[in-house]
Amino acid sequence: MTKYFLLLTLHFSLLAQITQKPLLEGKNGMVVSTHPAASEIGLAILKNGGNAVDAAVAVNFALAVAHPSAGNIGGGGFLVYRDKSGAVKALDYREKAPLAASRDMYLDPEGNIIPGKSMTGIFSVGVPGTVAGMQEMHAKLGRLPWEALLKPAVALARNGLVLTEKEARGLNRQRTEFIKENPGKNYLLSAEGKEWKAGDLLVQEDLANTLELILRKKAKGFYKGPTARNIVREMKSKNGIISKKDLRHYQAVWRTPIKSQYKNYQIIGMPPPSSGGVALAQLLQMVAPYSLKNWGPTSDSTIQVMVEAERRVYADRAKWLGDPDFVKVPVAELIDSTYATSRMSSMNFNQATKSSDIQAGVFPGYESPETTHYSIVDREGNAVSITTTLNNSYGSKVFVGGSGFLLNDEMDDFSAKAGAPNLYGLIGSKANEIQPNKRMLSSMTPTIVEENGKLKMVVGTPGGSTIITSVFQVVLNTLEMGMNMQQAVEYPRFHHQWLPDKITSEPNRFSAEQQVRLQSKGYTFAPVSAIGLVEGILVLPNGNLQGGADSRGDDTVSAY
């Protein structure tokens, strides 16, 4: 009993310590994104009669201006959508490997990975999918005219964005890389070599012109014409491999969402080439038999169950997941509850499982931390969960001359060499090897939750390999631990990804005493300043919308 009260005290102490933004609710619509300007633009679209998809398109292009480290037109992403009737869809506009890509393109003659080649610079760039994705979702699901959705972003780029402290700090941190990768250009550099500071005005004239071209010609304004020529010119000037043909032939793909059951809730997620939907379903299946609600979020038992589930899921991710157009992915087997039970059967509360002792499951017949997420619900009950990215912060650091935008470094999300880690330390296998036209595996986990057939939650986050575990923990914080949406988003997080075999954790997530207890069982800890930037919307019993915007960034809830 004494231990129970100590754990309860620790839990409430954590809730009191976290820096919370105000708990905001709305009746008619809500947008939660990583930047206040983008959230307000999305909300204005909703107020003017647009639906959730209209707002999503407007938010995406606004983030390309306001949040250049991850918001983009030179990257890609995923949409999970649920309409007011409960019908669900998933759109894959993930980047692709260029036609000239090859399996060993990042290896030296001895077969070793060339450091940094897949992470920064022209060779790290995949064929962008964002603009094609925006056009496709608008054509199928949007309501307002396309032009109305682009105008706010054009104006923001042309008139200038007032930088926040976090944005100024991020731009200054990348200054050396920008200069190295873009000699003779001054994109995102302050005048006279000075550092950016909060309150400075960032004007992006070339980007405004590119967005205006997309406004007039939709995706053709990106994949053909002047913008495409500028991309190819940039490639040729640095011996890159993306061609006009790569751009001209890019298409977004509609896929069947992952559906899984967690107690009374249905979880709707993104299928491969995202690993998020499968992994989240696995995690929830694995922890479902345990009494997490009774134990509470700070108990040793809760931590052990979650870590051991994460360890096993990431082992499966490494072996089985890839682009379903190229490899056979055993989705049904991976998310089966019987399989989940068998995977957790080796767990021992007295001793940590060594990751070296855990391999992927066997099935007969089968051989970054910078992204951005936004969640939207409109007055009709349509819901959008979108995660989009350049991969690493500011992507490849390569700007498209004359067009004013950054290109991604998504090629690093392929397995450059089986068993070798990528930027985020994730291990890959043959299922995710590089092939021309193939989509690289992703950790992005845009998620929608239903309860008894009704919309319950819309959630997602950036964070590279920590995306999956961050969404997992926020879902449990809300559904099991009784936290409101803002508390669930703010609560300190931890992460385990099989290899390396360690628990990374935010400050104050574990007490010193708890770390000692868990270390005695074989767990290893590594501190990290922050994990993820979760954007969540919770539908309350009275139908109101409750937002959660992460204080780890400039994230903002806008509602009416």
Query: What residues act catalytically?
Result: 371
Nearby residues of 224 by Cβ (< 8 Å), 6 or more positions away = 247, 248
Q: Could you tell me which residues are beta bridge partners of residue 269?
A: 258, 447
Burial classification of residue 532, based on how many CB atoms lie within 10 Å of its CB (0-12 exposed, 13-18 middle, 19 or more buried):
buried
Choose among 256, 313, 318: nearest CA to 285.
313
Q: How far apart are CA 139 and CA 155, in angstroms?
A: 23
Q: Is 94 annotated as a binding residue?
A: yes
For residue 98, give every residue at least 6 positions away whose Cβ sits within 8 Å of its Cβ, in sequence order, or none: 126, 127, 241, 242, 243, 246, 436
> Is 447 labelled as part of a ligand binding site?
no
Residue 182 known to bind ligand: no
Length of the chain in terms of residues written: 560
On whether 237 is known to bind a ligand per the annotation, the reply is no
Q: Tokens 């096993």 map to which residue? A: 312
DSSP bridge pairs for 162: 201
DSSP per-residue codes, 202-228? E--HHHHHHHHHHHHHTTHHHHSHHHH
Query: Do 410 and 126 contact (CB within 8 A), yes or no?
Result: yes
- What number of other Cβ atoms are within 10 A of residue 205's Cβ? 11
State both tokens at 312: 């096993």
- Reading the block at residue 318, the tokens are 């490494």
Q: Residue 51 annotated as binding? A: no
* Closest residue by Cα to residue 191 from 214, 171, 177, 211: 171
Q: Which residues of 235-270 are buried (b: 16+ CB within 10 A; e: fewer)?
A: beeeebbbbeebbeebebbebebbebebeebbbbbb
Q: Helix, strand, coil % (nearest 5) of the chain?
A: 40, 20, 45
Q: N- to C-terminal Cα distance for the chain?
A: 45
Which segments of 396-493 are extended strands (E)?
A: 447-451, 454-460
Q: Tell whether residue 443 is among the known ligand binding residues.
A: yes
Residue 243 assigned to a binding site? no
274 is in an annotated binding site: no
The first and second tokens of residue 516, run together, are 């000692």
Q: How large is the angle between the packed helices 205-217 and 225-237, nearest 10 degrees?
A: 130
Binding-site residue numbers are 94, 389-391, 413, 442-443, 464
Binding-site residue numbers for L-glutamate are 94, 389-391, 413, 442-443, 464
